[in-house]
Every structure is written in structure tokens, then in C-alpha cells.
Chains A and B, each alone.
Chain A
Amino acid sequence: MTTYHLSKQVRSLLVLSSLFMIMCLAVLPARADTSAAEAPTDFIARLADTAVTTLTSPALSKTERQEKFRALFTEGFHLQRISEFLLGPYRRRASEEDIKAFSEALEDNVVATYAWRFKSYAGQSLTVKGSRDGNRGQKIVATHFNPENGGPPILVEWRLLPHENTWKILDVAVEGLSMAVTQRDEYNTIIRRNGGEIAPLVELMKNQTAKLAARN
């Protein structure tokens, strides 16, 4: 019965929100060795390690944690491609300035949404399970996110795009729920409601960022 779907659905929402912690784990330092292409699985493992070592110290101030997170996020994720994907069909009509404003608002929004969660890091970990081919040189890395309460591992998949001997993240999916698809659907609903204009969405994002950044 659909009631049951409701609880399944709710479970899926739970899983998606676990992604908050996971996305936070996705950060990385500069690689010393760029001579050989890095394996996609190594890339993800490196991200997780680096996130834990650089972002979880309780000694970090709010601003320090946010800025460390921002640096690692912009390095690990392909912000430009993600922005273009999220705008969907409206990207065609958007001006360069619109896209740039959206991209900046997105970055700030991600930082405000996720950075503070590292403060309460309690031993969650990511186990890399393997990788498979996506479309056109993309790779999908499967990982298990192990919650701190010893609950069953959650399947998290990372869609990677080759980038200068290593990789950049395009999408994170939790138990089949894609972050990029979800946000694209949400943003496109808002853009459509505003007659195809991107600026009102950017305003909403900025307001929300201010609210989220005020936490902690």
C-alpha cells in the first residue's frame, strides 16, 4: 500500500540526508604527484581521509572550517559542470552573468549547508567498494558510508569526470537518489515558477545561505 511507500520514501529521505555528512567527507589536498592518472577509487579514498583530517578538529573556528571546506569543495567538485547541469534547460537562455551568479550562490550555499556538520564528526567512515564505467570516460565509484551508531552501511555512489590526471565529482547518489537530479528538479521548479528567470532563484539561495550560515 502507498502508506508503506510513504515509510520507504521517508527512509529514502533519511538516506539522502545522510549524504550531508558524506558530501562533507569529500575534500582533498593538492596532489604532489600528477605524473600518472589517479585511480578513481584512490581519489575518493583520498577525499574522505583528507576531509576527516582537515575539517573535524574541534579547535577550528566557524569561519576557518567554512573556508577549509570551501577550498576542498571547489577542488573536489566540478562546480561549473554541476551548475550547468542544475540549471537544466534554462541554461540555454541564461546570460553569462546569470550563470556566474548562480554558481557563486551555489558554492556559498553548499558551504553554509555542509561545513558545520564536520564539527560534530563522530567516527563515521567511508569504505571504497569499487568502480565501474559511466558514460564517456566517467567513472562511478561505489562506497559504503558507515554511520557512527554502527547501523547498516549506506550505499553512496560518486559520479566522476576525468580532470587533469585525476577526477572531479559531478554527482553523489545515496541508495540510488541523486543529489544532482534532486537539486535540478527543485531549482527548475523555482525557475519555472518565476517565468524562466534565474535571478529570483539566486536571491532565494542567498537568503537561505544567510540563514544556514547563522547556525552554529
Chain B
Amino acid sequence: MSVAAKFWSLFSRSLAVGFLCLTLAACATAPSNDDGFGYQQPYDPIEPVNWGIWEFNLFVDKAIVRPVASVYDLLPGGIKDGVRNFLRNLRTPIILANNLMQGDVDGAIDTTGRFMTNTIVGLGGVFDVAYGNGNGIEYRDEDFGQTLAVWGVGDGPYLMLPLLGPSNVRDALGMVPDYFLDPINWWAMNTDSDTPDYIGYGTLGLRVIDGRSRNVQQLEDLEATSLDFYATVRSLYKQTRTSQIENSGGTIPSGEPAANFDLDLDTIGDSAALPQ
């Protein structure tokens, strides 16, 4: 394939994602879905479409991803951790660029420090020396969806992406810049070789399998104890992203959603406080 054709193939692929997102974004002006009690209904205007894709994803998961992940899970824990550490280290350019775009200098220093330490001392990133026994610098993922959020962009409608899973318009749009921030993709754009493509797909596949293998039993439990698994995952996605965007380290805010809590609870039996 010529360089131009190669570039076009890569570019059109990202463009397709971007276009899809923009189309959706056009009808994505979030209405005020606050019911006056501080409770935000999940914003999911294309729920029937999402639901169909969700069913497809569940099918693919049960048919392919979970069986493969279950086999992968038989590997010794040390090897699996090595794979995860290596994959995380590879994401450094994307994380660092987003640290900087968010104006997070401390984050950028941590990201760089982790990369230097783990690449040199940790044998190319296989060992997370920087985190050490839990007292070092912890891995923290960043992506352009989070950067957009820091810049004040709202999340827009919920999206269920084929194979990629839960997302929203903002986070799906954020995939495009992240794609171009990944050196593997620069390489792919500047060579006739298929090697970078294979590496790209290979790491993607490993990332999915590694993540899935860590949760086989837990996801089954979650599905068994959910009345509406789709709605549960949608809620968890939103909460997860909020926590990542705020870099809260997993702590809950003292006010929100306690404000919802309080507002809800304080208005019990107090009809004067109800919005008319």
C-alpha cells in the first residue's frame, strides 16, 4: 500500500468515528433533565439503538471475549501483571499529552517519571517499579475525553459503541485525537509495512483480554444481581468517568451526590419544598 493510501485508510477510519460522533452531537444538546430534585436522569436519547448494540456486545463477549479471557486467566499472575504493566507503559505518550493539555503539570511529571523508571529499571515496562509495593506513584490513565471534560465539554448522550462498549459523545470524539497521539499510529502512517497495524491490533486485543480476564466471576455476579444490567452499566460508566475526570482517587464527593440525597430526603413530608 502506498503511503498516501495508508494514510487515507487510517484517516478515513478515524474520520468515520468522528463523523458518527458529530452527527450524534448535532442532536445532542442536553435538555434540562433535572427533575427539580437534583436527580439527573441518565441522558440516553438513542436508548433503543444503544440497547441493540449492547445485546450484540454481550453476544460477542459470551461467544469470544470471555472464553478467550478465561483461558488467558490460567496464566500465572506475574505474567498477567507483566502484560498489563507493559501495555500501560505503552500508553505513556497519550497520557502525557493529555496531562499537559489539561494543564496538569504534576500529572505530567508523574507520568514521565513512571515511564523513565519502568522503562529503564522495569525492563521495558514489564515491572511497575515506580509503583513499587504500593507506596510509589500510581498509574493514572488520561485520555482526550477527560481533557475535553476538563475544558468544560459536557458528556452528551450516552453511546454504546460496537465492541468498544459504553461511552458517550464526548468520550467517543476524544478517541480521534488519542488515535493520532499514539506513536504506533504515526509509524503506521509513515510506512508501507503492515507491522505497526499488527502491533496496534495486537495490543488492543491484549488490553481487552487482560481487562476481561480480571473480571470473569465479578461480571457474572453483577449480571446475576442486576435487574437491568444495561442501566447498571450505564450508571457505572458515568460514575467511573466522573471519578477519572476529577482524579478523585476513588473518593466520593462530600456534597454530590449527597446534595441529591439531602434534597430528596429533606423534602420528605414537606410539600412546601416541592417544586411546583
Contact = CB atoms under 8 A, between A and B. Distances in A.
Interface of A: 1-14, 16-18, 20, 81, 84-85, 88-89, 91-92, 113, 132-136, 138, 140, 142, 152, 155, 157, 159, 170-171, 173-178, 180-182, 184-190, 192, 201, 204-205, 208, 212
B219 A13 contact: yes
A205 B231 CA distance: 15
Interface string B216-252: 0011011011111011111111011111100011111
A188 B41 contact: yes
A1 B254 CA distance: 30
A210 B98 CA distance: 48
Contacts of A201: 227
B167 A178 contact: no
Interface residues of B, number: 71
Interface stretch (B105-113, B190-198, B258-266): B258-266
A128 B239 CA distance: 24
B114 interface: no
Given A175-B243, A178-B239, A159 B251 contact: no
Interface in B148-187: 161, 164-167, 171-172, 175, 178-179, 182
Given A10-B211, A89-B35, A2 B239 contact: no
Contact of B165 (A5, A16, A178): A5
A175 B235 CA distance: 14
Q: Which 7 pairs from chain A and chain B are nearest by CB?
A: A7-B211, A185-B235, A176-B243, A175-B250, A189-B231, A17-B218, A6-B165
27 contacts: A1-B143, A3-B164, A3-B208, A5-B145, A7-B207, A8-B141, A9-B165, A9-B236, A10-B219, A12-B236, A13-B219, A14-B215, A14-B219, A16-B236, A20-B221, A88-B35, A92-B274, A134-B255, A136-B262, A138-B258, A177-B243, A185-B231, A186-B232, A188-B41, A189-B228, A204-B227, A208-B227
B39 A89 contact: yes
B227 A135 contact: no
A7 B212 contact: yes
Given A3-B208, A92-B274, A85 B165 contact: no
B211 A11 contact: yes
B72 interface: no
Nearest to B225: A113
B45 interface: no
Contacts of A13: 215, 218-219, 222, 233, 236
B243 A171 contact: no
B26 interface: no
B212 A135 contact: no
A190 B164 CA distance: 25
Interface of B: 35-37, 39, 41-42, 91, 94, 134, 141, 143, 145, 161, 164-167, 171-172, 175, 178-179, 182, 204, 207-208, 210-212, 214-215, 218-219, 221-222, 224-228, 230-237, 239-244, 248-252, 254-255, 257-262, 264-265, 268, 274
A20 B96 CA distance: 36
Contacts of B255: 134-135
B216 to A, nearest CB: 10
A187 B227 contact: yes
Contact of A4 (B41, B91, B236): B91
Nearest to A174: B250
A2 B237 CA distance: 12
B264 to A, nearest CB: 6
Max chain A CB contacts within 10 Å: which of B161, B227, B254? B227
Contacts of A185: 42, 231-232, 234-235
Contacts of B94: 1
B235 A181 contact: yes
A186 B204 CA distance: 31
